[in-house]
Amino acid sequence: MTLIEAKYYNSVDSKTHLVQIHFDQDKLYILENEKTKSVSINHCKFETPIASNPMIVELPNNERLEVKNSTLLVEELKRIGHKKSFASYHIETNTKLFAVSVLVTISLLVVFIKFGIPKMSGTIAMHAPSSWTEKLDDHILSDLDKHVFSESKLSDETQNQIRHYFFKQSNTEANLLFRKGNQLKANAFALSNNTIVITDELVHSAKNLNHLLAIYLHEYGHLQQKYVLKTIVSSSSLALLSLMLVGDLPGLSESLANLNFVLLSRSYSRGYETSADDYSVNFLNALDKSTRCMSEALLVFKSVHKETSENNMIIEYLATHPNIDLRIAKIVKSYPLDKSCQVATLPMTEDSTSN
């Protein structure tokens, strides 16, 4: 007979009674000084033990026992053939099961972040109704027009010449808009529906119309791959995941922990940029144009933005775009035999007003 130390509480007052308990057949015996009380095991509720906390036994009439040595009590219950499994307690306390839990949890998180979210974002973005993307386009463009862009200084004729060249060469038809980029300098943007914005500064910096075409095709790739919607869905999914993991943290820690997830979403963005590069390069190749148009356009972009070519891990982790030299090297590696990009003149550089 194993005697187990316990604390007994009645349901009337707060007095603590130091008792000993033991089991015999289907009964639980409670011994206090000379007195003994017995309760049928079927009328007792044995709560699942938690870590090193005392184990609670609820008795009839709202009475209860607090057993410090929960391991001993669990063993006794097993010995007398009590059926309760205490599954979560076993997973938590069994070293092997716990190690497996840690591995499975981390693996599930990694798989979900690495493959689940991009796959899910892609599927949702591809099947989203066009009304969503149209609304988004209006909203993003009006926001950019309000805070960043100003009206393009390129003449209507120049703008139409560029549009005509792109559409004729690539047989694509996007809603191509021109704006003065101001602090965004030479740049191009794909909005969510069918709109591409190219800044005056980029047109002036590019010199070669085929460089501009390569950039246009990169942005067109974003449109085809629904880049904006994908980004929205993936960042929202990460925010939800973050909420699930660290949702009940105090505000400060939560916001810093969330920052990790924001930075993770940057890695998705870098992935989308790489696939837009691939889209442009393959398109150029299919049009019998040199893929160097894209790599040279990236060089122009680099010189304008004075991008660092240093391969810094921290900068890469923070950036929305992959390192520009790596992007160029990837294109050269994919098409090593291509010659320089053929120069197509820019009629508008002569007749346009300067920026």
Partner 1 sequence: MSDTPQDSQPLSLFQPKFHGTAMGYFRIWIVNMLLTVLTLGIYSAWAKVRTMKYFMGATELDESRFDFHGSPIAILTGRILAIIFFAIYIISGRINPYFAIVGALILFCIIPWIYVKSLRFKLAYTSFKNLRFTFRGKIKDAFALWLKYMGPMVLIWIALTITMIYYGINENLKNKDAAAFAQGGVIPFVGLYLALISYWLFTVHRFVNALFTFIYNNIFYGGQKLSFESTSKEIFKHIFKPFYKYFFLNIAAFIGLAIVSTLLTKMVSKPLGTIILVSGSIAFYIAFICITLLTPYLTIKYVWSRIQVGSYRTKEFYDFKSFLKLSMTNFLAVGFSFGFLYPWAKVRMTKYLVEHRGIEINNFDHFVADSQQRLSAIGEEVADTFDFDIEVGL
Residues engaged in binding partner 1 (CB under 8 A): 7, 9-16, 47-48, 50-54, 56, 62-64, 66, 88, 91-93, 98, 101-102, 104-105, 108, 146, 242, 244-246, 249-253, 255-257, 259-261
Q: Which is nearer to partner 1, 46 or 220 (CB)?
A: 46
Separation of alpha carbons 254 and 291, rounded Å: 45
**Of 3 and 249, which has the nearer Cβ to partner 1?**
249
Helix axis angle for 227-246 and 117-127, nearest 10°, is 130
Sole residue written with tokens 């060249």: 165
Taking the complex as a whole, the smallest distance from the CB of residue 38 to partner 1 amounts, in Å, to 20
Residue 143 or 351 having the CB closest to partner 1: 143
- Compute the least distance from the CB of residue 30 to partner 1, in Å: 14
69 or 93, CB closer to partner 1?
93
Give the residue from 141, 188, 178 showing the smallest Cα distance to 158.
178
Q: How far apart are CB 47 and partner 1 at their closest, in Å?
A: 8
| DSSP secondary structure, 57-122, as one string | EE-GGG-EEEES-HHHHHHHHHHTT-----HHHHHHH-HHHHHHHHHHHHHHHHHIIIIIHHHHHH
Instruction: State in angstroms the smallest separation of the CB of 95 from partner 1.
Output: 10
Cβ 141 to partner 1 shortest distance, Å: 13
Long-range contacts (CB closer than 8 Å, 24 or more residues apart) made by 231-234: 231/121, 231/265, 231/268, 231/269, 231/272, 232/136, 233/120, 233/121, 233/124, 233/125, 234/117, 234/118, 234/121, 234/265, 234/268
Of 85 and 171, the one with the shorter C-beta distance to partner 1 is 85
The DSSP symbol for 184 reads G
Q: Which one, 126 or 249, has the nearer CB to partner 1?
A: 249
The distance in angstroms from the start CA to the end CA of the chain is 95
Q: Give Cβ neighbours of residue 114 (< 8 Å, ≥ 6 apart).
A: none
Query: Of 88 and 342, which CB lies nearer to partner 1 in the complex structure?
Result: 88
Q: Are strands 4-9 and 64-67 parallel, antiparallel or unpaired?
A: antiparallel
Contacts of 4 (CB under 8 A, 6+ apart): 20, 21, 22, 67, 69, 72, 73, 76
Which of 29, 20, 22 lies closest to 76 in space, CA to CA?
22
Can you read off the two tokens belonging to residue 134?
């149209």
Minimal distance, residue 340 CB to partner 1, in Å = 41
Rounded least distance, CB 257 to partner 1, Å: 5
Q: Pick between residue 126 and residue 256 the one whose CB is nearest to partner 1.
A: 256
Using an 8 Å Cβ cutoff, are 7 and 18 in contact?
A: yes
Closer residue to partner 1 in complex, CB, 106/329: 106
Question: In degrees rounded to 5, what are phi and psi of residue 62?
Answer: 60, 20
Toward partner 1, which CB reaches closer, 98 or 115?
98
Please choose, from the candidates 165, 167, 224, 158, the residue with its C-alpha nearest in 3D space to the C-alpha of residue 190: 224
